[in-house]
Amino acid sequence: MIDKRFSVNSLTCCWLLFILYLPACFGDLSYSVPEEMKRESVIGNIAKDLGLDIKHLSSRKARVDTKGSRRRYCDINLNSGDLIVSERIDREALCGQKASCVLNSDLVLANPLELHRISLHIQDINDNSPVFGNDIITLEIGESASKGARFLLDEAHDADIGQNAVQSYTLQRNNHFVLAVHTNPDGGKYSELVLEKELDREEQQAVTLLLTAADGGTPQKTGTVVIHITVLDANDNIPVFSQAVYKVSLPENAPLGTIVVTVSATDADEGANGEVTYAFGRASDEVNKLFSLDRKKGEITLNGLVDFEEETNYEMRVQAKDGAGLASHTKVIIEITDVNDNAPEIFIESLRNPISENVQLGTEVGIINVQDKDSQGNRQVRCSIQQNVPFKLLPSIKDYFSLVTTEELDREIVSDYNITITASDEGTPSLSSTKTVQLSVSDVNDNPPAFDEQSYNAYVTENNKPGSSVVSVKAKDPDWRQNGTIFYSILSGDVSGVPVSSFLSINGDTGVIHAVRSFDYEQFRSFKAQVVARDNGSPPLSSNVTVSVFITDENDNSPQILYPAPLGNSMMTEMVPKAAHAGSLVSKVISVDADSGQNAWLSYQILKSTDPGLFTIGLHSGEIRAQRDISESDTMKQNLIVSVADNGRPSLSTTCTVYLLVSDNLAEVPELKDMNYEEDKSKLTSYLIIALVSVSTFFLTFIILIVSVMFCRRRKPRLLFDGAVAIPSAYFPPNYADVEGAGTLRSSYNYDTYLTTGSRTSDFKFLSSYNDATISSGQTLKRSPNETKAETDFIEAESTCATLVNPFS
């Protein structure tokens, strides 16, 4: 093939060379040879082509002259006459982009000198690939670039020429770009990127594509380059919050500076376009005061105090804005959660104060309302009161409690209550509060006055001064004020028919009882009065007490002589038998004392006598006895002045005269005839006569009665009044037994009482003491049993008589 081309080319070339180099050229040789042939490759046979004998080639010293070029690309094989490649022939190095590349050299022969031009036409082979100027093509395309935008790409170069140069470009398959290939006026090809689909930096910040350039050689060679497209940002994104609504809860009373929530918005844009700042959108003044927003970090910080009880919920809009002013909003809802920060409050809605002490059990005293501002469990309130009061709390409707009584109240025991109400909520920790209610109990007149003692005894000495205080009664009433104010009074009544008010009066306020008059022990010894204490309530309550007044004796009565007649009448003469022996009883002085006790204990004494030594008198008995046997020589008329003294202090005494006539016969006494009764002088005398008559009558009747009784019951002697002397009852002084007035049997009873109440006082005392004295003094008479018996009989009869007669005296 080379040969064939050679022939065609060599002819054309020969003719061309022939015209150009005619004088020097005998015959030109032209060969066409592809570049990059191996050394020793045969290009053509010069000897044959020139018609030279091979044998002459060596002798004629054939050689290829490269015309001054250093490199000798071809040479001649002298043995075969072949033109061979002696050096690597690189068309691109020799001729670059020239369309034809010819290497000229001369074939020089000597003997004779012969010069033949040899033209080597170097043919291109596809030994170079397309090459881009840079390894990487960097493009920056704004994301806002619209469809159809074109971006010129670097051209690829291929050292080869013609078909072996760059013929086409291909772009790696991608979403955004296509390739447009153009031909330069010089025939070179270049390409453009055409944006087919808009870029989004936020989706893809960079696009890397592979561009391949291919030549037209066979085999085809390609070269590639990486296109790196940086997508430039456009502010095409608004900031986007991470949440459409931020809902957070914040405990109330959170400390200042607490970060409540951090809002966060992101802007997909870059740089300033993506720089987000935050600000409150429309927000109330309150929100602005309470919260602050960090414009960079988006932190919402608490600036003031939040109180669940004031506001449970804050809402605000937050704006996020990028550097270019694109903004978006979000909503922040801050819910304040309750903290148990409010203690329950106690309100006394109503109170019955004071409360009457007689209210019924379970009476409602007050209504209490309890409130807690917190919510839920924090506002569940338990309410209680202390244990030791008679009240309790009853839960009522909702937060209301009734305070009711659990016991009956008694103002006199407890008049005031301090009721401490404690309310505590169920929060953790629990908060509680207390309130004290002061409740007073008002009085009801439910206590009657009570006397300190069950009864009062007053001892008053007779002859007291009217108006002197006798005793003081005292009653207490624990009720309040007038319900406890006591007035004393003496209950109307009478003492022996006389109104008690004439004896006693009482100070209504103090209870001091005064004697209205002077009392006389001899008149009555005691009496009773009822004292009433009444309070001033309405209705009033009262109670009464018995006051017993005992009158004590004073020695205010002198002894009174009953016998002999106190008038000292000479008629009252005692007969003394002349034969009376020593110790025989001759007479007896009988006296009484209205006083009692010591004041009535009488003693007898002979003050003066006609014949001292003849008679003695019993110190207490008053018995006058002969001290010795009476003799004829003794004076017939004997007078004794006897003094009777009581034992009071000072002692009171009376004297009397006893006339004794020593005689056996009254007729012997002549003076007696002359004795004149002066009836007018003494009523007693006439009384005595009447009494004696009546006594005799009764006496006789009684003798008969006693005799008949003795017949019936056998005789039992009762020696009640042994040794006593009959006392004519008529001699009793009128006042002696006249306590109740005369004439009824009641008097007899009173008389007994009278006698006994003084215990061992009075005349019985006198009698017994007389008896004692008689025995103890050893003055026992030696009497015959008959005498004694007769005497006892007499005494018994007489004393009975005296007892019975007395009421009629």
> What residues make contact with ligand NAG under the rule CB under 6 A?
416, 418, 438, 442-445, 480-483, 491, 537, 544
Q: Which is nearer to ligand NAG, 145 or 389 (CB)?
A: 389
Least distance from ligand NAG to the Cβ atom of residue 417, Å? 6
Q: Which is nearer to ligand NAG, 133 or 493 (CB)?
A: 493
The pair of structure tokens assigned to 119 is 């033209």
Q: Provide the 3-class DSSP secondary structure of residue 82.
A: strand
Least distance from ligand NAG to the Cβ atom of residue 537, Å? 5
Closest residue to bound ligand NAG by CB = 443
Least distance from ligand NAG to the Cβ atom of residue 381, Å? 24
Least distance from ligand NAG to the Cβ atom of residue 543, Å? 6
CA distance 554 to 560: 16
Least distance from ligand NAG to the Cβ atom of residue 539, Å? 8
Least distance from ligand NAG to the Cβ atom of residue 531, Å? 10
Q: Provide the 3-class DSSP secondary structure of residue 758.
A: coil
What contacts 482, CB < 8 A, 6 or more positions away? Answer: 535, 536, 537
CA distance 278 to 288: 14
Q: Which is nearer to ligand NAG, 45 or 445 (CB)?
A: 445
Least distance from ligand NAG to the Cβ atom of residue 479, Å? 7
CA distance 747 to 741: 7
CA distance 741 to 88: 199
Least distance from ligand NAG to the Cβ atom of residue 434, Å? 13
DSSP of 124-180, one letter per residue?
P------EESSSEEEEEEETTPPTT-EEE-PPEE-SS-GGGSEEEEEE---SSEEEE
CA distance 261 to 52: 107
Q: Which is nearer to ligand NAG, 235 or 483 (CB)?
A: 483
Least distance from ligand NAG to the Cβ atom of residue 713, Å? 49
User: What stretches of 741-784 show up as alpha helix (H) in DSSP?
Assistant: 745-757, 762-776
Closest C-alpha among 494, 470, 551, 591 to residue 758: 551
Least distance from ligand NAG to the Cβ atom of residue 436, Å? 7
CA distance 647 to 597: 9
The pair of structure tokens assigned to 741 is 């007035």
Closest C-alpha among 97, 90, 72, 199 to residue 139: 199
User: Are the C-beta atoms of 528 and 549 separated by less than 8 Å?
Assistant: yes
Q: Which is nearer to ligand NAG, 72 or 481 (CB)?
A: 481
Handedness of CA 692, 694, 698, 701 (dihedral sign): positive
How far from the centroid of its chain's Cα atoms is residue 463's Cα? 72
CA distance 634 to 627: 13
Least distance from ligand NAG to the Cβ atom of residue 475, Å? 12
The pair of structure tokens assigned to 174 is 């991608």
Q: Which is nearer to ligand NAG, 419 or 652 (CB)?
A: 419
Is the backbone peptide bond immediately before 539 cis, with ω within 30 degrees of 0?
Answer: yes
- Residue 80 phi, psi dihedral angles, 5° rounding: -105, -10
CA distance 118 to 126: 25
Least distance from ligand NAG to the Cβ atom of residue 405, Å? 16
Q: Which is nearer to ligand NAG, 485 or 682 (CB)?
A: 485
What contacts 350, CB < 8 A, 6 or more positions away? Answer: 366, 367
Q: Which is nearer to ligand NAG, 480 or 488 (CB)?
A: 480
Q: Which is nearer to ligand NAG, 483 or 750 (CB)?
A: 483
Q: Which is nearer to ligand NAG, 288 or 482 (CB)?
A: 482
Three-state SS across 318-343? EEEECCCCCEEEEEEEEEEECCCCCC
Q: Provide the 3-class DSSP secondary structure of residue 780.
A: coil
DSSP of 233-266, one letter per residue?
P-S----EES-SEEEEEEETTPPTT-EEEE--EE
Q: Which is nearer to ligand NAG, 203 or 416 (CB)?
A: 416
User: Are the C-beta atoms of 616 and 584 separated by less than 8 Å?
Assistant: no
Q: What is the DSSP letter of 612?
A: B
Q: Which is nearer to ligand NAG, 313 or 436 (CB)?
A: 436
| Torsion, Cα of 90, 92, 95, 99 (10° steps) | 120
CA distance 689 to 695: 10
Is the backbone peptide bond immediately before 564 cis, with ω within 30 degrees of 0?
Answer: yes
Least distance from ligand NAG to the Cβ atom of residue 470, Å? 20
Least distance from ligand NAG to the Cβ atom of residue 454, Å? 10
Least distance from ligand NAG to the Cβ atom of residue 502, Å? 19
Q: Which is nearer to ligand NAG, 443 or 646 (CB)?
A: 443
Least distance from ligand NAG to the Cβ atom of residue 483, Å? 4
Least distance from ligand NAG to the Cβ atom of residue 548, Å? 15
Q: Which is nearer to ligand NAG, 123 or 442 (CB)?
A: 442
User: Are the C-beta atoms of 46 and 29 separated by less than 8 Å?
Assistant: yes
Least distance from ligand NAG to the Cβ atom of residue 529, Å? 12
Q: Which is nearer to ligand NAG, 242 or 482 (CB)?
A: 482
Is the backbone peptide bond immediately before 219 cis, with ω within 30 degrees of 0?
Answer: yes
Q: Which is nearer to ligand NAG, 442 or 643 (CB)?
A: 442
- Partnered with residue 644 across adjacent β-strands are 604, 654
Q: Which is nearer to ligand NAG, 428 or 454 (CB)?
A: 454
CA distance 585 to 574: 11
Closest C-alpha among 402, 396, 419, 410 to residue 362: 402
Nearest 5°: CA angle at 791, between 786 and 793? 95
Q: Which is nearer to ligand NAG, 457 or 482 (CB)?
A: 482
User: What stretches of 552-682 show up as alpha helix (H) in DSSP?
Assistant: 670-674
The pair of structure tokens assigned to 604 is 């007898």
